[in-house]
Amino acid sequence: MSCSVPHRLCCSSVIISVYSAGVIVRGSGKAFFASCNPKICVVGSGPAGFYTAQHLIKVCRLHVVSFSAFSSFQARQDAEVDIYERLPVPFGLVRFGVAPDHPEVKNVINTFTQTAKQSRCSFYGNVNVGKDVSIEELQQAYHAVVLSYGAEGNRTMGVPGEQLAGVYSAQNFVGWYNGLPSCQELNPDLSCETAVILGQGNVALDIARILLSPVDILKKTDITQPTLEALERSQIRNVLIIGRRGPLQIACTIKELREMVNLPDTRPEMVAADFNGVAEALKDVPRPRKRLTELMLKTALDTPGEKEQERRNKASRSWGFRFFRSPVEVLGDPDSMRVVGIRLAVNRLEVDGARAVLTGEVEDVKCGLVISSIGYKSVPIDPSVPFDSRKAIVPNNMGRVQHVSGLYCSGWLKTGPTGVIATTMNNSFDTARSLVEDIDSGTLDVSISKPGSQSISALLEKRGVKPVSFSDWEKIDNAEMKKGEASGKPREKLLSVEEMLRVVQT
Residue 457 exposure: Cα atoms within 13 Å on the Cβ side:
12
Interacting stretch for another protein, rule CB under 8 A, among 15-23, 186-194, 415-423, 438-446? Answer: 415-423
Interacting stretch for another protein, rule CB under 8 A, among 132-140, 182-190, 222-230, 252-260? Answer: 252-260
Q: Using an 8 Å Cβ cutoff, are 77 and 440 in contact?
A: no
Q: Using an 8 Å Cβ cutoff, are 167 and 339 in contact?
A: yes
How remote is the C-alpha of 21 from its chain's centroid? 40
The reply on whether position 258 binds another protein by CB under 8 A is: yes
Could you say which of 60, 83, 292, 435 contacts another protein (CB under 8 A)? Answer: 292
Residue 244 annotated as part of some ligand binding site: yes
CA distance 228 to 230: 5
203-232: which residues touch another protein (CB under 8 A)? 203
Residue 48 annotated as part of some ligand binding site: yes
Give the residue with the Cβ less far from another protein, 347 or 415: 415
Residue 419 annotated as part of some ligand binding site: yes
**DSSP code at position 221:** S
Q: Using an 8 Å Cβ cutoff, are 368 and 198 in contact?
A: no
Give the residue with the Cβ less far from another protein, 363 or 437: 437
Shortest spacing between CB 431 and another protein, in angstroms: 11
Interacting stretch for another protein, rule CB under 8 A, among 200-208, 237-245, 338-346, 348-356? Answer: 200-208
The reply on whether position 409 binds another protein by CB under 8 A is: no
Shortest spacing between CB 407 and another protein, in angstroms: 18
Residue type, 372: S
Shortest spacing between CB 288 and another protein, in angstroms: 4
Could you say which of 1, 24, 66, 110 contacts another protein (CB under 8 A)? Answer: 110
The reply on whether position 202 binds another protein by CB under 8 A is: yes
Neighbours of 36 (CB within 10 A): 23
Q: Which of 15, 5, 84, 50 is nearest to 456 (CA)?
A: 84
Shortest spacing between CB 42 and another protein, in angstroms: 18
CA distance 18 to 24: 6
Shortest spacing between CB 253 and another protein, in angstroms: 5
Shortest spacing between CB 189 and another protein, in angstroms: 28
The reply on whether position 116 binds another protein by CB under 8 A is: no
Burial environment of residue 116 by CB neighbours within 10 A (0 to 12, 13 to 18, 19 or more):
buried
Residue 412 annotated as part of some ligand binding site: yes
Interacting stretch for another protein, rule CB under 8 A, among 16-24, 65-73, 100-108, 276-284? Answer: 100-108
SS3 call for 123: strand
CA distance 32 to 30: 7
CA distance 407 to 443: 12
Residue 420 annotated as part of some ligand binding site: yes
Interacting stretch for another protein, rule CB under 8 A, among 97-105, 152-160, 186-194, 310-318? Answer: 97-105
Which residues have a Cβ under 8 Å from the Cβ of 46 and sit 6 or more positions away? 91, 92, 93, 94, 148, 150, 411, 424
Q: From its phi and psi, is residue 464 left (phi > 0), alpha (psi between -120 and 50) or beta?
A: left
Shortest spacing between CB 55 and another protein, in angstroms: 9
The reply on whether position 442 binds another protein by CB under 8 A is: no
What is the contact mask toward another protein in residues 299 to 338, using x (rule: CB under 8 A)?
Answer: ----------------------------------------
Residues near another protein (CB under 8 A), total:
37
Interacting stretch for another protein, rule CB under 8 A, among 20-28, 223-231, 354-362, 426-434? Answer: 426-434
Which residues have a Cβ under 8 Å from the Cβ of 491 and sit 6 or more positions away? 222, 477, 480, 481, 483, 484
CA distance 187 to 394: 33
Q: Which of 4, 26, 201 is nearest to 97 (CA)?
A: 201
The reply on whether position 160 binds another protein by CB under 8 A is: no
Q: Which of 203, 210, 247 is nearest to 418 (CA)?
A: 203
Residue 97 annotated as part of some ligand binding site: no
Q: Using an 8 Å Cβ cutoff, are 331 and 342 in contact?
A: yes
Q: Which long-range contacts (CB under 8 A, 24 or more apart) does 23-30 make?
A: 25/64, 25/67, 25/73, 26/69, 27/67, 27/68, 27/69, 27/70, 27/71, 27/73, 28/69, 28/70, 29/70, 29/71, 29/72, 30/71, 30/72
The reply on whether position 430 binds another protein by CB under 8 A is: yes
Interacting stretch for another protein, rule CB under 8 A, among 107-115, 160-168, 308-316, 348-356? Answer: 107-115
Interacting stretch for another protein, rule CB under 8 A, among 207-215, 254-262, 442-450, 463-471? Answer: 254-262
Neighbours of 375 (CB within 10 A): 21
Report strand pairing: 355-366 vs 339-350. Answer: antiparallel
Could you say which of 63, 311, 433, 475 contacts another protein (CB under 8 A)? Answer: 433
The torsion of the CA quartet 213, 216, 218, 223, rounded to 10 degrees, works out to: 130
Could you say which of 429, 438, 452, 484 contacts another protein (CB under 8 A)? Answer: 429
The reply on whether position 113 binds another protein by CB under 8 A is: no
The reply on whether position 288 binds another protein by CB under 8 A is: yes
Give the residue with the Cβ less far from another protein, 294 or 333: 294
Extract the annotated binding site for FAD. 48, 85, 93, 129, 412, 419-421
Extract the annotated binding site for NADP(+). 200-203, 244-245, 256, 419
Residues that bind another protein (CB under 8 A): 58, 102, 104-105, 107-108, 110-111, 201-203, 251-255, 258, 287-288, 291-292, 398, 415-423, 425-427, 429-430, 433
